[in-house]
Structure 1
């Protein structure tokens, strides 16, 4: 056995680190030449990574060309998460598939071996391929995106770097926006000398009353110049009509910065659909890339409105990458992004969204008539995806929410999470994933009915 292991290690050294042939194919002095690499035999289960953005999807990842029922989509998920399929919070750190996780580990091992041999694999040369794949997938040009360590970092540098504000202006955000983004908006008071205006999304929300709410907010506060919007709230799951609000804000001379951490890979859309010049994305939540992957989008003709990150000089001032200087990052995670995109396209964005809404609808329809239980997203398919929170009447504190989540976990084996920050009190969030089954939704509905009687 030891002899066999030694032979395998020797063979691995002879092959080199994963992607070495891709680096060798780059012309000397060219950082970012895109090549098609035949790596499929190296990845588990035939997952192909590292293809150029112009190349067709591998055969195993192409859509079937026929209508796929939502109930079929889950069967395409080769997930390691089946042991926890009743855990309805997989989005917390994303749910990678076999094809995403294994290449990430292989890249990490390969890069470590290369460094141990004293060679330097220059992974950032390869990163241009990942950027190109992302740009094509999200529907923008390569020079409008830069890779970050997540949506939080992406949005922080755009909010903090937004240079059109002057003392006396105002910025605004809502109760359903993400905490870290709220902090960044609050910071602008000291950084830019602006006033910070907060608001609460109507409850219950409807498509029109949310638009009307933001219209009134901007009409009543004409000094607002920057508005934070969240496409899908991590608190309640509300899907905000971003396109309409961004268009209305632009007509009033207000820029929007959009938190799309929970929407891309979850909802089927292109970045241009949002009508916003500044958008931050996550890749580990719904695309399934490893932790520490995200990107920012800055509309090409608006790049000058965001300062270079700490006066970065690694890239020219007209290069979007100068707006984020991360330093040394986990290159193996970045190099796994194509595998995540391959899987996402294999399932199909529309199929994925349909499946997630189907699982959400299945439990919501069974509890919507429970007298003392409120579902926090409306029955309007334009305003939710997988995430939906609920509140049991009278249970609005942290302690009460923890008691309910503990009950659901300990008595029913269903994992949910509490979320604070909502103006009218705490909520409990449910987030199914592709590997969840309709029976999981049924179990959750029974558990919620029991919780509503108990609390």
Structure 2
């Protein structure tokens, strides 16, 4: 297998061959960038394989790795914050910036809305929903806080259920809402290694009272990578008249699903994580019949209460990021959603299986296929998460992030599609040496 380290030497020359016209320019077909074609060609050679078999085909994944350029100065195993963009997507972004910069106000006044609607069509198809139910946001936080602060159904004295493993910004948003409007937050705990979906569902069900109006469920927990059974939780909650908000920041374009599969009422995600768009792209979904019961975060009187576009007036923003989402979707589809999920899970399991029996090492992520994918969490006994992350970077040049909360203590490890097995072997060797000497 060709090493990505050797590939870096050629990356500049390869990248210079790629030219991208603006997303909606007429000549886009004549300027097809080679990375998508190469990945599609490589994918055609593994289409007879199951996703799990294709996940281990290093010849195929070499072509995917070639599409990215990463720093040779360290091994990046912290892709959960945001993902690198493929070189092709970067070039698309630069071209879209140039395109809009040549038109500025003309584009903003004449073309912006139509282009946004076209991108929404592509996102809606990817997500399995209607364009009338989604809005392009800048991140998950903007999407979910628009919902959290806008919910008209959550009144003084009403309760919202969440867990101590939910994302901090969402917990803080509910905390602020409670201070402002007198609602009550019910914080529950979840097991790190559940024995069944029922065990998880029961945790939420036991917390429901007659005053419960909404449950926040993190689809893939950002601390550990555990995947929660959102559909089963939603079925239980809806039977009791309780709504569901799905925080899917880490699951969208990571595991293969459509939003309706979750049966949630509200949904938010960041596209600059696992879809690998430019920074500052997210998605908000509200079930069509629920839109009218959510206040907009900003003033807008030009659309009806049940029109998702009432949320879109957020002021001037970098439209070139929205345009470039189209390229990221094409790249994602060229790989294949099921194949991508299987590869990310294979990468997590590759290092986790090698470390799980070490008595000095603690895995904070369940390894069953239905309970986790590419994101994981691990600890070394005797070291704090910060100490472990510092040793990995300072001594071994491996970048991770320390997670230290009431519920979880360990480092988050998030390889991406460009991560090689040699890099994961280096991580395993480093962890074993640290465990021996700590």
Tell me whether the two structures share a fold, i.e. TM-score over 0.5: yes
- Render the CA deviation track for 1:287-321: whole Å, top value 9, x for unaligned: 01100111101111211221233341243322112
Q: Which has the larger radius of gyration?
A: 1
Q: How does 1:94-113 map to 2 (within 5 A)?
A: 94-113=83-102
1:178 to 167, 171, 189: 167
1:347 maps onto 2:335 in alignment: yes
1:114 maps onto 2:98 in alignment: no
Q: Secondary structure at the match of 2:274?
A: coil
2:400 to 411, 416, 440: 416
Match of 2:261 in 1: 273
Match of 1:189 in 2: 178
Between the aligned partners of 1:360 and 1:215, the Cα distance in structure 2 is: 31
Q: Is the 8 A contact 2:78 2:401 kept in 1?
A: yes
Tell me the TM-score normalised to structure 1 length: 0.84
1:76 to 45, 63, 82: 63
Q: CA offset at residue 20 of structure 1?
A: 7.3
- Render the CA deviation track for 1:162-209: whole Å, top value 9, x for unaligned: 111222211121111111111111122133321111122123333332
- Does the C-alpha gap of structure 1 residues 157 and 63 become closer, same or farther in structure 2, counting only changes over 3 Å? farther
| Unpaired runs of at least 5, structure 1 | 1-16, 22-36, 49-57
Match of 2:410 in 1: 427
Between the aligned partners of 2:240 and 2:73, the Cα distance in structure 1 is: 48
Q: Secondary structure at the match of 2:321?
A: helix
- Render the CA deviation track for 1:394-433: whole Å, top value 9, x for unaligned: 44xxxx3222111111222211101233x24532110011
Match of 1:437 in 2: 420
Between the aligned partners of 1:89 and 1:372, the Cα distance in structure 2 is: 22
Q: Is the 8 A contact 2:23 2:327 kept in 1?
A: no
Between the aligned partners of 2:23 and 2:254, the Cα distance in structure 1 is: 29
Match of 1:231 in 2: 219
Between the aligned partners of 1:384 and 1:175, the Cα distance in structure 2 is: 18
Between the aligned partners of 2:44 and 2:288, the Cα distance in structure 1 is: 31
- Does the C-alpha gap of structure 1 residues 257 and 119 become closer, same or farther in structure 2, counting only changes over 3 Å? closer
| Unpaired runs of at least 5, structure 2 | 1-20
Tell me the TM-score normalised to structure 2 length: 0.87
Q: Secondary structure at the match of 1:196?
A: strand
- Does the C-alpha gap of structure 1 residues 61 and 159 become closer, same or farther in structure 2, counting only changes over 3 Å? farther
1:296 to 284, 288, 291: 284
1:86 to 72, 75, 82: 75
Between the aligned partners of 1:116 and 1:277, the Cα distance in structure 2 is: 37
Q: Is the 8 A contact 2:298 2:314 kept in 1?
A: no
Q: Secondary structure at the match of 1:146?
A: strand
How many residues get paired?
408
1:369 to 350, 353, 357: 357
